[in-house]
């Protein structure tokens, strides 16, 4: 079964993301920006709350606050300098070198910054990255092997490098400091291997234009990522007119290639190399033509768009049919590329198309796409609904419902000059701001000409609403514009009447210097609502927010906004390196312009320095920050990183801190994109307090354990074992709480995967004792070892023995039972799945991302037709119990067994009794409609003495209308259905049922 905490983590993450977008979309108003009082009293400055650095992490919050010194603060002279513009981004540079230290020219460097919980490989083909998830920048090294990036945001950083003749290099645990320039250490590439050969068709003719990609299905190219992308890959080569190819960007070890040849079925090829620099030539990859789907795109009105591409993806309905009835205990295998990768065809001028290379017995969903602005990218056509078709089908028809559009030109009514900077909102029922393909608000319109497309009104339906906003002009709004399907309506010239303006001047309160790049908001919303807008990252603009006026200041510190004459409004501003201004409330005059001034304060600064017990500065330690407004309540779980990490000098600098008491503590739990146990979190060392005041500068010193590493090789039977998943769990004092659990696919520094030589390595982990769990797909149980992380890094080689248990499962009549799940567990039933789960990112029939998680290692083995099983790779030296279970039999277990090294225990047989099942169905919708409440279903066996015992439970809801209670001993049962798991509730229901061997009883409950 899948761990419940993993499901909860996924559900919480989805809910949190939805709540975030909902809150951003539905912010009720703008905060009032009042003039600040610069004469506020100075409270004091904080420092370390203990003269003994070793006690800095262990003081309780109450005690920490009590010991805050209340001396006058030390002025921070550095804060007096003007902060950098909000639009500034760091300049990142570095160099790529070969094993000998020579520069590598022409290497492709991929980079992405910011925290995103799913670790998608950066070098995957562009269409493999869901739009809006992560932004991948790329560049090429110059003749000296140097590269630069100037568009990355500070924060977590990932780098990937590919170059001809070398193995790829991945760095997934970097940080980009928030400073003007950063230079990374040299990225050294190792020699790769070379594969060469031809791609041919069934007649042996070379196939031109075939693309060869490294499959991203947990193979060597994806090692360490714990993310699979079925059907997607890293582009490596394209065949020439003779079908020849040469691949020279692979690491030694196993390789798996996707061969995507035009008009041919997808094929996959695999092999392995043993050493760097090895060459394999003369490879021949044969592709088959497969089947075809023929059809046409028909337009309801007007001509079809040019350049349409039809994509055929395996339909989820067909996929569900193949998997129907599969027991939950058997993990679904990750789809192969031939099952998951879409096939494409361009439409002819008359709309006809032929999709080639599909499978005969698979149902496909056909959707239409157009080229996007991204090089080589495609975007979904919103006016064509997907249709279903099987491989080999003819006469498939897709209907194009053409977009409607509004076109117009915006002019200044006074001068007739075109306006080129404005914002457009339009829609049917609900207006939305005009955005480009990257989701950015469109603000620039050459010559004042604009087109708002992708409108799809119903014939005879409500009209379209259009609203245009430009600084210095009254909003222009048109309602109920009659627009027919497929119509491009030219509204002609739209003349904007001048409006009085509000010029907001934003200055540094220290010295009065203008602040460039400050975000300014003006509107009728509340102070708190405006504060929510300004609490977003400094590069977040609000041009698309209809409820507020928004602008950024220029070099003179001024922002010009249209007035709201006669209204009481609030003005507020914020810039990078400053606190939000106090809200300024003002009644706007009806007959004139107005100039306002907002003064920004620097707030306080706290500089945190982290040493280890030997006095050495420690890099990469997370420092958590709690602001005065966050209160004393701590979250029971956490996604994301600590507020900051220490740099190479062991320093983390916190600036623009609001006046008040701030809390800081070392975040040594490494809860990055993970799940931290709430009870453990509450037992973490106490916060250290520091008082911030305007212009203050305080220092805190923390003691943290040194960072170190671990490396080694994993062997089985004396031979290196590749593809081993290793997971570290720190052994900590009870006062520090338990370990964190990381979501599969996250940037987990505690998980590693061995390469083709069985090698692994960890780095930059805090020193101490750990449990190392070692899992492999061929082994039924993980092995566990106690290891130490030390500085300098130490080696630890793992030699896995091959202990096994074999036996046979029969029924009471002596007949063999096939398909029975058999597994071995220790008596404590410890979590055997940690570190062996993989996140699977696939596509639905529309090409949208779909997430699932799969267990890498199967704990259970299924008996064959003769009832035989063999459990290989079991732990030795500890008591194990073997369990056998199946749908139609009552489960059985063995006495405890302790295996010796490499022991093969035979004759562990089972005789299982027949069992029955109960199928439970839910009728109607739970309270709240679809997506409402849930129900707990419990099967309680009625004993001969009338006592009842709960033997099994399951869950029902709008997402799961039926459940099956299996492996039940024949007899009488009571089945209880409890809303939200509350059996004592008034809406709880109960039914009695008789379970008969080898039969399924069916009962239903009405949602209420």
- Closest by CA to 687, choosing from 122, 58, 127, 163, is 58
pLDDT digits (tens, 9 = 90+) for 564-576: 999 999 999 999 9
Please determine, for residue 473, whether its predicted confidence score (pLDDT) is greater than 90: yes
pLDDT digits (tens, 9 = 90+) for 486-523: 889 999 999 999 999 999 999 999 889 999 999 999 99
Segment holding 678, helix H or strand E: helix 678-682
Contact 272, 756 (CB under 8 A): yes
Six-digit token pair at 796?
Answer: 């630890």
CA atoms within a 13 Å half-sphere pointing along the CA-CB vector of 272: 9
CA dihedral sign of residues 9, 15, 21, 27: negative
pLDDT digits (tens, 9 = 90+) for 554-566: 999 999 999 999 9
Six-digit token pair at 356?
Answer: 């080639």
C-alpha distances in Å from residue 29, one per residue of 20, 21, 476, 562, 921: 16, 16, 21, 17, 46
- Closest by CA to 870, choosing from 854, 887, 858, is 858
Bigger pLDDT: 978 vs 328? 978
pLDDT digits (tens, 9 = 90+) for 230-263: 889 999 999 999 999 999 999 998 899 999 999 8
- Residue 377: which pLDDT band, with cuts at 50, 70 and 90? confident
- Residue 613: which pLDDT band, with cuts at 50, 70 and 90? confident
What is the predicted pLDDT for the residue at 83?
42
Tell me the Cα Rg of the chain.
Answer: 32
Segment holding 424, helix H or strand E: strand 423-427
What is the predicted pLDDT for the residue at 669?
52
CA dihedral sign of residues 983, 989, 993, 995: negative
DSSP 569: E
What is the predicted pLDDT for the residue at 32?
28
> Cα 43 to chain center, whole Å?
42
What is the predicted pLDDT for the residue at 642?
54
Please return the burial class of 459, using the count of CB atoms within 10 Å of its CB with bins 0-12, 13-18 and 19+. Answer: exposed
Contact 815, 736 (CB under 8 A): no
Instruction: With H, G, I as helix, E, B as strand and everything else as coil, classify residue 206.
Output: strand
C-alpha distances in Å from residue 873, one per residue of 780, 800, 885: 6, 8, 20
What is the predicted pLDDT for the residue at 379?
84
pLDDT digits (tens, 9 = 90+) for 907-937: 999 999 999 999 999 998 777 654 457 899 9
Six-digit token pair at 275?
Answer: 């050493």
pLDDT digits (tens, 9 = 90+) for 798-844: 999 899 999 999 999 999 999 999 999 887 655 555 446 777 887 87
Beta-carbon contacts of residue 536 (< 8 Å; ≥ 6 apart): 24
- Looking up tokens 């789907």, which residue turns up? 293
The DSSP secondary structure of 859-894, one letter per residue, reads --EE--TTSEEEEEEE--SSEEEEEEEETTEEEEEP
Bigger pLDDT: 1003 vs 633? 1003
What is the predicted pLDDT for the residue at 671?
38
pLDDT digits (tens, 9 = 90+) for 842-871: 787 677 788 777 776 778 899 999 999 999
Number of helices followed by number of strands (H, E) in the chain: 6, 74
pLDDT digits (tens, 9 = 90+) for 346-356: 999 999 999 99
Beta-carbon contacts of residue 920 (< 8 Å; ≥ 6 apart): 937, 954, 956, 962, 963, 964, 965, 975, 977, 1003, 1004, 1005
- Looking up tokens 């849930």, which residue turns up? 934
What is the predicted pLDDT for the residue at 222?
47
What is the predicted pLDDT for the residue at 659?
93
pLDDT digits (tens, 9 = 90+) for 94-109: 999 999 999 999 999 9
Bigger pLDDT: 711 vs 765? 711
pLDDT digits (tens, 9 = 90+) for 145-164: 999 999 998 888 999 999 99
Q: Which residues pair with 978 in a beta bridge?
A: 936
Q: Which range among 67-76, 458-467, 891-900 has the greatest average pLDDT?
A: 891-900
Please return the burial class of 307, using the count of CB atoms within 10 Å of its CB with bins 0-12, 13-18 and 19+. Answer: exposed
Six-digit token pair at 642?
Answer: 């600590």
> Cα 864 to chain center, whole Å?
39
Using DSSP bridges, classify how beta strands 404-412 and 449-455 pair: parallel, antiparallel or unpaired: antiparallel
Angle at 997 between CA 991 and CA 1002, to 5 degrees: 35
* Mean pLDDT taken over the chain: 82
C-alpha distances in Å from residue 512, one per residue of 34, 78, 477: 17, 16, 39
Q: Percent of the chain, pLDDT > 70? A: 81
- Closest by CA to 707, choosing from 811, 600, 621, 822, is 621
- Residue 646: which pLDDT band, with cuts at 50, 70 and 90? confident
Of 59-73, 187-201, 821-835, 907-921, the poorest mean pLDDT is in 59-73
Q: Which range among 312-316, 684-688, 803-807, 885-889 has the greatest average pLDDT?
A: 803-807
pLDDT digits (tens, 9 = 90+) for 703-729: 888 889 999 999 998 889 888 888 888
Please determine, for residue 87, whether its predicted confidence score (pLDDT) is greater than 60: no
What is the predicted pLDDT for the residue at 723?
83
Contact 808, 908 (CB under 8 A): no
What is the predicted pLDDT for the residue at 16?
40
CA distance 540 to 23: 15
- Looking up tokens 């409820």, which residue turns up? 547
pLDDT digits (tens, 9 = 90+) for 406-455: 999 999 999 999 999 999 999 987 889 999 887 889 999 999 999 999 89
Mean pLDDT in residue range 166-178: 88
Please determine, for residue 532, whether its predicted confidence score (pLDDT) is greater than 50: yes
Contact 562, 471 (CB under 8 A): yes
């Amino acid at each position: 079964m899948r761990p419940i905490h993993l499901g909860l983590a996924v559900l919480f993450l989805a809910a949190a993301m939805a709540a975030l977008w909902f809150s951003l979309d539905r912010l009720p108003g703008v905060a009032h920006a009042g003039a600040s009082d610069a004469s506020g009293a100075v409270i004091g400055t904080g420092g370390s709350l203990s003269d003994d650095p070793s006690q800095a992490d262990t003081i309780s919050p109450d005690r920490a606050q009590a010991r805050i010194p209340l001396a006058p603060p030390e002025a921070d002279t550095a804060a007096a300098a003007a902060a950098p513009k909000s639009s500034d981004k760091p300049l990142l540079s570095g160099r790529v070198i070969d094993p000998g230290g020579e520069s590598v020219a022409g290497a492709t460097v991929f980079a992405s910054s910011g925290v995103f919980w799913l670790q998608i490989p950066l070098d995957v083909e562009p269409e493999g990255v869901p739009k809006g998830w992560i932004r991948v920048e790329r560049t090429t090294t110059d003749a000296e092997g140097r590269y630069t990036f100037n568009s990355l945001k500070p924060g977590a950083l990932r780098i990937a490098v590919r170059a001809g003749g070398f193995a790829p290099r991945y760095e997934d645990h970097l940080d980009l400091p928030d400073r003007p320039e950063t230079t990374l250490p040299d990225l050294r590439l190792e020699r790769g291997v070379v594969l060469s050969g031809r791609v041919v068709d069934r007649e042996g003719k070379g196939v031109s234009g075939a693309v060869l990609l490294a499959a991203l299905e947990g193979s060597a190219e994806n090692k360490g990522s714990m993310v699979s992308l079925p059907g997607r890959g890293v582009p490596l080569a394209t065949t020439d007119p003779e079908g020849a190819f040469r691949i020279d960007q692979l690491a030694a070890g196993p390789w798996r290639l996707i061969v995507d040849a035009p008009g041919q079925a997808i094929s996959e090829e695999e092999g392995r190399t043993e050493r760097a620099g090895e060459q394999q030539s003369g490879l021949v990859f044969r592709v088959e033509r497969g089947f075809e789907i023929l059809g046409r795109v028909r337009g309801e009105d007007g001509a079809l768009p040019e350049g349409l591409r039809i994509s055929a993806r395996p339909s989820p309905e067909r996929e569900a049919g193949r998997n129907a009835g599969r027991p939950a205990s058997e993990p679904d295998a990750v789809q192969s590329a031939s099952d998951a990768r879409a096939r494409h065809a361009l439409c002819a001028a008359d709309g006809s198309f032929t999709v080639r290379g599909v499978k005969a017995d698979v149902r496909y969903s056909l959707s239409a796409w157009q080229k996007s602005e991204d090089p080589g990218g495609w975007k979904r056509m919103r006016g064509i609904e997907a249709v279903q078709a099987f491989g080999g089908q003819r006469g498939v028809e897709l209907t194009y419902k053409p977009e409607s559009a509004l076109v117009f030109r915006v002019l200044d009514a006074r001068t007739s000059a075109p306006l080129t900077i404005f914002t457009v909102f339009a829609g049917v029922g609900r207006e939305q701001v005009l955005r480009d393909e990257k989701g950015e608000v469109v603000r620039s319109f050459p010559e004042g000409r604009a087109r708002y497309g992708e409108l799809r009104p119903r014939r005879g339906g409500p009209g379209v609403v259009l609203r245009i906003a430009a600084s210095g002009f009254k909003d222009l709004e048109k309602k109920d514009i009659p627009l027919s399907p497929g119509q491009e309506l030219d509204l002609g010239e739209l003349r904007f009447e001048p409006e009085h303006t509000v010029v907001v001047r934003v200055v540094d309160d220290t010295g009065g210097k203008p602040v460039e790049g400050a975000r300014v908001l003006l509107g009728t919303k509340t102070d708190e609502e405006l504060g929510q807008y300004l609490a977003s990252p400094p590069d977040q603009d609000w041009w698309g927010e209809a409820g507020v006026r928004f602008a950024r200041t220029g070099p003179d510190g001024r922002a010009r906004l249209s007035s709201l004459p006669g209204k009481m409004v609030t003005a507020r501003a914020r810039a990078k390196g400053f606190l939000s201004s106090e809200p300024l409330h003002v009644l706007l005059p009806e007959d004139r312009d107005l100039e306002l001034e907002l003064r920004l304060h620097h707030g306080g600064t706290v500089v945190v320095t982290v040493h280890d017990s030997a006095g050495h500065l420690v890099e990469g330690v997370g420092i958590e920050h709690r602001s005065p407004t966050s209160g004393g309540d701590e979250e029971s779980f956490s996604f994301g990183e600590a507020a900051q990490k220490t740099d190479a000098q062991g320093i983390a600098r916190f600036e623009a801190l609001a006046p008040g008491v701030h809390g800081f503590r070392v975040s040594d739990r490494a809860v990055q994109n993970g799940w931290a146990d709430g009870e453990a979190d509450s037992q973490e060392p106490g916060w250290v307090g520091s008082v911030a005041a305007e212009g203050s500068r305080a220092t805190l010193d923390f003691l943290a354990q040194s960072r170190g590493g671990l490396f080694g090789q994993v062997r089985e039977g004396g031979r290196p074992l590749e593809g081993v998943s290793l997971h570290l769990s720190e052994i900590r004092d009870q006062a520090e709480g338990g370990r964190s659990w990381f979501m599969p696919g996250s940037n987990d520094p505690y998980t590693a995967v061995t390469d083709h030589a069985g090698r692994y390595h960890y780095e930059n982990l805090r020193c101490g004792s750990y449990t190392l769990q070692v899992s492999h797909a061929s082994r039924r149980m993980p092995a566990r070892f106690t290891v130490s992380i030390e500085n300098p890094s130490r080696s630890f080689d793992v030699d896995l023995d091959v202990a096994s248990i074999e036996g046979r499962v029969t029924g009471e009549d002596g007949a063999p039972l096939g398909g029975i799940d058999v597994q071995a567990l220790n008596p404590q039933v410890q979590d055997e799945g940690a570190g062996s789960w993989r996140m699977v990112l696939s596509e639905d029939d529309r090409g949208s991302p779909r997430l699932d998680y799969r267990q890498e290692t199967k704990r259970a083995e299924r008996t064959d037709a003769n009832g035989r099983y063999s459990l290989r790779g079991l732990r030795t030296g500890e008591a194990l119990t073997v369990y056998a279970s199946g749908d139609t039999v009552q489960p059985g277990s063995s006495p405890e067994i302790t295996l010796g090294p490499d022991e093969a225990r035979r004759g562990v047989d089972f005789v299982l009794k027949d069992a029955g099942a109960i199928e439970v169905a839910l009728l109607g919708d739970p309270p709240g409609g679809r997506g409402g409440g849930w129900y707990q279903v419990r099967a309680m066996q009625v004993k001969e003495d009338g006592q009842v015992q709960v033997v099994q439970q399951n869950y029902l809801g709008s997402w799961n209308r039926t459940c099956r209670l299996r492996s039940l001993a024949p007899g009488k049962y009571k089945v209880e259905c409890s809303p939200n798991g509350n059996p004592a509730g008034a809406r709880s229901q109960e039914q009695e049922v008789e379970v008969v061997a080898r039969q399924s009883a069916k009962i239903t409950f009405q949602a209420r």
